[in-house]
Amino acid sequence: MDLNQLKEAAIEATTRALQQKFDVMPSEESDEWEDEYRRQFALMKQRYAVDTKAIVRPPVSAGPALQLPELTGDREHIHWAEQVRADRMREVTDAARRTWMARTWTRAKLWVDTRDVPVATLLQRTQAQYDDYRRKTNEQQKATAAAAQQKAAAIATHQAKLQKAGITEEGLIELIDASERMTPTPLTDKLAELSGVDRNLRVFATADPKTLLVKEKNLTGSHDYGIERDEGIVADLKLFAAAPAP
C-alpha cells in the first residue's frame, strides 16, 4: 500500500467512525474530523505495517528550483517540518500553489500539524486563503505596473522638455566652464548635480544674488569656485534637475 492508498483508507475509516459517533457528520474542517483522521491514519499505518518515511515519492516537475525560505519555530519542529514540506512540494502538482505555500507557510508548526492531512483535503481547506493571496498579488502587480507606466510617462515628458529647450548635461557643463569666475560665497539651495567625463559638479545658489557656487570633484581632487549667476543657466539647471526620481 502506497501513501495515497493509506490516506484514502484513513479517510474512509474516518467517515465510517464519525457517522457512527455523530448524528450530523462533522465537516472536514472540524477538530473532530481532524482528530479522528489522525487516529485512523495511525491505525492504518500499524495495520498495514507501512513505513511512511521509507516511501519513495516520485518528483513533480516544478520548472526552476523553488527557493524555500527558512522556517521558524523550535529546532525539533523545524527539522521535522522541513521533511514534511519537502514531501508536500512533491505532492502539490500546481506550481503556483506550491510557491504560495512555500512563501507563506514559514512557521514549522503549520507543516507538522498538517503532516497527515491528505493533500486534496489540505488544498480544499486552504483554497480561500490561496484565492485571497492571488487577489492581493494581482492587485499589487497592477499597481506596480501602473506606477511604472506613470514614471515612464513622467520621464518621457521631462526628456521632451529638455530636448525642446536644447538642454543637455554636457552643454550645461560647458556653460559653467565658460562662465566668469567669481569669489565663492556661502551656499544656499542646491540647483543641480552634473556628471561629465571624470567630473562631478554640484551647483548651488548662494547668499550673493550675483554668484553661483560650484563644488567639483575630478581626477585632481575637490574644488570649490564661484561663477557669475546667469538666470538663463539657473533656469536650465533647475529644469535639468527636475527629472523624476529613478
Q: How confident is the model at residue 50 (pLDDT cuts 50, 70, 90)?
A: low
pLDDT in tens, 160-200: 999 999 999 999 999 999 999 999 999 999 999 999 999 99
Is the separation of the CB atoms in 227 and 214 below 8 Å?
yes
- pLDDT value at 145 more than 90: yes
- pLDDT value at 225 more than 70: yes
- pLDDT value at 132 more than 90: yes
* C-alpha cell belonging to residue 143: 499597481
Residue the block writes with cell 551647483: 203
Residue 2 confidence (pLDDT): 63
Q: Residue 98: name the closest of 72, 70, 64, 74 by CA.
A: 64
The reply to whether the predicted model has a pTM over 0.75 is no
At 56, the amino acid letter reads: V
CB-count burial class (<10 Å; 0-12, 13-18, 19+) for 118: buried
Say which residues have a Cβ less than 8 Å from residue 237's Cβ, sequence separation at least 6. 172, 191, 192, 203
* C-alpha cell belonging to residue 52: 511512511
**Which of 41-55, 107-121, 139-153 has the lowest average pLDDT?**
41-55
Say which residues have a Cβ less than 8 Å from residue 206's Cβ, sequence separation at least 6. 184, 185, 186, 187, 188, 212, 213, 226
Q: Which residues pair with 190 in a beta bridge?
A: 204
